[in-house]
């Protein structure tokens, strides 16, 4: 089985403005869809919840559903980590922050988000299939040594 570039699958998925929605209030259906797509391709994936807080505060500022695969975390923008969060939130270098990532379950309010999940699933599946096709067509162009 070829190795897949999950960040590229995400970035090349045609999500339009819903990519931003998945950063704000649709992160759970996006994470569920990404988990479902990766799992269907037999790629190990784990649903996690990321919480972000300023070090001097007890409670987190926000929580976000992400997917972990092979030690790397992903959301609708691609790779997700503390540096990415700090940069996107424009946090000053002297401000201490904490990003906590914990294993969670694949869950979202299916009554409210089933259409969004379906949209994300189809877009991510198509992107994964495009990557499979490119990988297969490139490997078939390699001629055997003579």
Report the distance separating Cα 21 and Cα 17, nearest Å: 7
When comparing pLDDT for 107 and 48, which is higher? 48
Question: pLDDT digits over 87-115, tens only?
Answer: 988 999 999 999 999 999 888 878 889 99
Residue owning tokens 């990415």: 84
The pLDDT value recorded for residue 135 is 64
pLDDT surpassing 50 at residue 1: no
The runs of H, that is alpha helices, within 25-141 are 27-40, 82-88, 110-141
- Provide the 8-state DSSP code for 58: S
Angle, helix 27-40 to helix 110-141, in steps of 10 degrees = 40
Question: pLDDT digits over 76-89, tens only?
Answer: 999 999 999 999 88
């Amino acid at each position: 089985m070829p190795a897949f570039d999950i960040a590229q699958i995400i970035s090349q998925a045609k999500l339009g403005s819903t990519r931003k929605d998945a950063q704000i209030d649709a992160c759970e259906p996006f994470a569920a869809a990404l988990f479902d797509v990766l799992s269907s391709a037999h790629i190990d994936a784990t649903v996690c919840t990321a919480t972000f807080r300023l070090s001097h505060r007890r409670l987190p500022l926000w929580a976000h559903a992400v997917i972990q695969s092979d030690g790397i975390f992903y959301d609708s923008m691609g790779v997700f980590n503390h540096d990415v969060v700090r940069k996107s939130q424009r946090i000053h270098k002297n401000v201490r922050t904490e990003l906590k990532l914990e294993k969670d379950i694949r869950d979202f309010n299916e009554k409210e988000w089933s259409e969004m999940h379906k949209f994300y699933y189809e877009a991510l599946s198509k992107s994964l299939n495009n990557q499979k096709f490119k990988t297969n067509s490139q490997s078939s162009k390699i001629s055997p040594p003579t």
